[in-house]
Amino acid sequence: MNLTTCPRGHAVHFCATSRVMHRRSRAYHTGLLFAVALFLACVSGTIGDEKDNSAELAKLATADHFEAVTNDPGFPVKSTYGLIRGTTPGKSAMQRYAGLFVHEFRLYPPELIRRTQLKRVVFCEKLSFDGQTRNAVPDFEHDTLYLDVSRGGYSRDYLREVIHHEFFHIIDYRDDGQLYTDDAWSALNPPGFKYGNGGKAAQGVATMGVLTDKFPGFLDEYATTAVEEDKAEVFAHMVIDPDYVANRDKTDPVLTAKTKRMKELLVKFCPEMGPIFWKVVADSQEHASTRP
């Protein structure tokens, strides 16, 4: 797998998106109670609704110093490993996706986004990389994340997982310049385990991303395809399925070691990714579950 392709409907190159209003100010550093209270007060709109979320998206982009592109994306885009293609998103699809994106991207502290070096997020439809359909293409060469606002739209949680999965690939690359190898992480696996042929080989296999305890030490079959996919799956589901991951941890010592390692890696890369972040994630899930 080359540096631009990380299938699973998504890809890997450069991504950054999501966080909660309360963290974008110094209040993020003042303590858990204030952070959680402000989160509940500031979360806007229903995730994935069709209200006009363009103003909230613009605020988020300004606060996090990236350009949010929703018109005239400038396709095709040349990269070292192939062409990135797509089309301008339809208004209705963009409105639905913008609300979800803003909600998820606000979960991250601004300092984390800064360290990922994100400069541009392009929202589009019919996204492809090197001729292969994608949900997302993180482009490290141009510090840009491409997101397809329609593909996978049958499931809000799937779209959320794509955002966090792809964003972690950016963290993973930026923290040490490595993406496809992590000997310390691989050493946590059961004795004799070897990863598969990478996420690209699993493209289009619907069951690969289904959460299951069929593979001890892994959240789903997709995580067994490559170390970078394993790490991204652990991170994404720690964000969108924290209760599920916590329950699996109770009976799976390998997965427990991986979630612990994930927290260590994140806080080393960005000190703001400590206990407050995980508390906000937990409260975000509780708040979302109460919506009609």
Q: Given this model, what pLDDT does residue 52 score?
A: 85
**Residue 126 CB: number of other CB atoms within 10 A?**
15
pLDDT computed for residue 180 by the predictor = 94
Collect all residues with Cβ–Cβ distance below 8 Å to 49 and sequence separation of at least 6.
Answer: 96, 99
Which residues in the chain show pLDDT less than 70? 1-50, 201-204, 287-292
- Listed by start position, the domains of the chain span 21-289
pLDDT at 27: 36
Q: What is the pLDDT of residue 287?
A: 60
Q: Quick one: tokens of 35?
A: 């952070």
pLDDT of residue 223: 97
Residue 79 bridge partners (DSSP): 82
In this predicted structure, what is the pLDDT of residue 39?
Answer: 39
pLDDT value at residue 50: 61
Q: What is the pLDDT of residue 11?
A: 36
pLDDT of residue 49: 58
Look at residue 284 in the predicted model and tell me its pLDDT.
Answer: 87
Residue 45: what pLDDT?
A: 37
The model scores a pTM over 0.85:
no
Fold of 21-289: Collagenase (Catalytic Domain) (3.40.390)
In angstroms, the Cα distances linking 155 to 6, 53, 100, 151 are: 20, 19, 11, 10
Kindly give, in sequence order, each residue whose CB lies less than 8 Å from that of residue 190, ignoring residues fewer than 6 positions away. Answer: 216, 217, 254
The enclosing H or E element of 123 equals strand 120-129
**Do residues 51 and 58 make contact, with C-beta atoms less than 8 angstroms apart?**
no
pLDDT at site 285: 81
Q: What's the token pair of residue 111?
A: 């300092």
| 170-174 long-range contacts, CB within 8 A, separation 24+ | 170/14, 170/15, 170/16, 170/116, 170/118, 170/138, 170/140, 170/145, 171/112, 171/116, 171/235, 171/266, 171/269, 172/228, 172/231, 172/232, 173/12, 173/14, 173/140, 174/115, 174/116, 174/117, 174/269
Least Cα distance to 67 among 137, 16, 106 occurs for: 16
